[in-house]
Amino acid sequence: MAASQSDTPKTAPFVLLWKQMRGFRGKYAWAIAALFLFTAINYVAPLVASATIDFALSGKPDDSRPITWIIGLMGGADFVRERLWFPALLMVLLTVIAGGFSYLKGRFAAEASDGIARRLKDRLYDHLQRLPARYHDRAETGDLIQRCTSDVETLRMALAAQVVEVSNAVLLLLTALPVMVMLDGRMTLVSFALVVPIILFGYIYIGKVKHLFAEVAESEGQVTRVVQENLTGLRVVRAFARQDFEIDKFAAPNKLYRDRSLKLLHLMAWYWSASDLIVVTQQGIVLFTGACFISQGSLTVGTLFAFLMFLNMLLWPVRQMGRTLTDLGKSVVALNRMGEILSEPEESVPAGFVRPSSPAAGKIEVRDLVFGHGEENAAINGISFTVEPGETLAILGPSGSGKSTIMHLLLRLYDHTSGSIRFDGRELTELDRQWVRSQFSVVMQEPFLFSKTIGDNIRLGRGGAEAEQIHEAALLADIHDTIKGFPSGYSTLVGERGITLSGGQRQRVALARALLQDTPVLMLDDALSAVDAETEATILEALRSRHGRRTTLVIAHRLSTLAHADKVIVLEKGRIIQHGTHAELAAREGLYRRLWTIQNALENEMSQDTAP
């Protein structure tokens, strides 16, 4: 199930954005101030040109017009007429100054948008670490990656450019209108004849494409998911010669993404073409009407020139409103997708949660435990057992019997539906999750190694561990000699998910990591399934030498792994069907004895087959 399908109430996108802008709003204020000065200077340059044309080349026009203010600031009509280089130089200087303010505008906006994007990525990553396991069970990894990278980048680009562009369009409109009215009211009406239709056209356009943004983002997430899944399982794909199948599987979401993107691009192309036609028509109307007024003697050439320059500056950002609205629409969709993640509640912390100050002894008491992953039959159905500090409990059962689920419940990856789990006499749900997990060392059924050195992967168990402590843990896990045999030893880099190591090597590195952590409870979830019998015997002997130092829970299918346990429980369909010691269960009729008989027979047969 995609992450977006959660029923959790979503954070309003602009509320989310406003919160993330804390500390950067001042930079946006400076960007808008620089934009205001940039706009004002840009409007002075056409007035300088208009004044020069009317006063220096065509004779002095009506004194009531604002052009006379500009000519007065330049030293008067005679001064300008005798020194035509001066207004040209002044326009160049004004352009340079305007360029400086444009640079400041872009710099402040870029610094603010980059800071907000970084904060959002940090917030999303931090939040994902704290979401409950149930959320990650239904979320798609590729889609989450898409939301934390591409969606954030979409928002960053919109904040860097489009927020300022909206301010630019508003300032241009507010600045241009009074100046143009002062120059000539008739031409102002003509100049704005098609501006309102352009704005309405952009508004209608964004309404039509808004749903396409979400569809394109969703289909891009599907492409990312397929690529991520394929690369993760690349060895499996090649082992089963499924390359062609995977290529075909990728082609479907890729085609859907292509089709939706093309649909969006076609609509955008239609908008740009139509808006270009409207803009050119508006300029033609102004030029034609101005020429008629000049021929009648009611308008000067300089004023028409100013109107054409004002119109060019005004129509471009107005025309850009379509693109601005497009990018803003994408950013709203991106904000909604990020908001869906951030609206998911983190793992709850009860108001009165307990965080004991001393390390745990490691006593575990389970009573009438019930748990289910959904409305289906319960994965755990009324089991009870007790593990005293320092004891070893072995758990056996067929696939789907609930073995790993017990581990997940003890780690509070999930909370049980009913019953009780007490840890050192305290109810587990009343204890702080982080403290609970700090008391357990775990080797998962599928050990995960990071794309770092072997030493760094083992050190994950205890960040400040010295080299001698790492070597000691590796010796207990029977991996030290193997690591020393690598050209770079403990500095050997392992591939993503430890792919450059064999399955048995990965399990032993993960075991060394857990042993280095040295917590009150050690949990091994089928942790020796990929090692050979001789290596398993060496590891078990090392673990037996530490018997009584920590509580140990062992899940395994190979009964030789369970033989040294103080207690053994056998699960079937979420219930305990047998319990006792290895000797008791091997002598008693039941599932354990049948498995023990079968495995012994197989081992004897293999020994005979391999005997010289």
Among candidate residues 342, 370, 403, the one where a domain is terminated: 342
What pLDDT, in 10s, does the model give residues 447-502? 888 888 888 888 887 878 888 888 988 888 888 888 888 888 888 888 766 677 87
DSSP string, 63-81: TTSTHHHHHHHTT-HHHHH
Q: Which pLDDT does position 58 carry in this prediction?
A: 61
Residues in the chain: 612
Give the N- to C-terminal CA distance of the chain in Å, as an integer: 55
Is there a single domain that holds both residue 182 and residue 120? Answer: yes
Query: Is there a domain that residue 557 lies in?
Result: yes
Query: Is there a domain that residue 541 lies in?
Result: no
Q: Which pLDDT does position 416 carry in this prediction?
A: 85
Q: Which pLDDT does position 612 carry in this prediction?
A: 55
Among candidate residues 471, 494, 518, the one where a domain is terminated: 518
Is there a single domain that holds both residue 209 and residue 288? Answer: yes
Q: Which residue has the tokens 């409990």?
A: 393
* DSSP code at position 330: H
Three-class SS string for 558-575?
CHHHHCCCCEEEEEECCE
Query: Is there a domain that residue 535 lies in?
Result: no
Q: Which residue has the tokens 């399908």?
A: 5
Is there a single domain that holds both residue 332 and residue 401? Answer: no
pTM (2 decimals)? 0.68
Handedness of CA 434, 439, 445, 451 (dihedral sign): positive
Query: Within 13 Å, how many C-alpha atoms sit on residue 190's CB side?
Result: 21
Give me 122's structure tokens: 């940090």
Query: Is there a domain that residue 536 lies in?
Result: no
For residue 589, which phi and psi values (nearest 5 degrees)?
Answer: -65, 135
Task: Find residue 383's DSSP bridge partners.
Answer: 369
Say what the alpha-carbon torsion angle 393, 394, 397, 400 is, to the nearest 10 degrees: 70
Q: Are 308 and 286 in contact (CB under 8 A)?
A: yes
Strands 380-387 and 364-371 come out as antiparallel
* Average pLDDT of every residue of the chain: 80
Q: Which pLDDT does position 160 carry in this prediction?
A: 83
Query: Is there a domain that residue 261 lies in?
Result: yes
Q: Which residues have CB under 8 Å from 286's CB, separation 6+?
A: 187, 190, 191, 307, 308, 311
Q: Which residue has the tokens 């749900």?
A: 429
Number of domains in the chain: 3
Domain of 472? 446-518
Is there a single domain that holds both residue 500 and residue 611? Answer: no
Which CATH number belongs to the domain containing residue 491 in this structure? 3.40.50.300
Q: Are 560 and 480 in contact (CB under 8 A)?
A: no
Q: Are 212 and 267 in contact (CB under 8 A)?
A: yes
Low-confidence ranges of the chain (pLDDT < 70): 1-13, 55-68, 76-77, 210, 235, 316-323, 325-326, 348-354, 374-377, 496-498, 530, 602-612
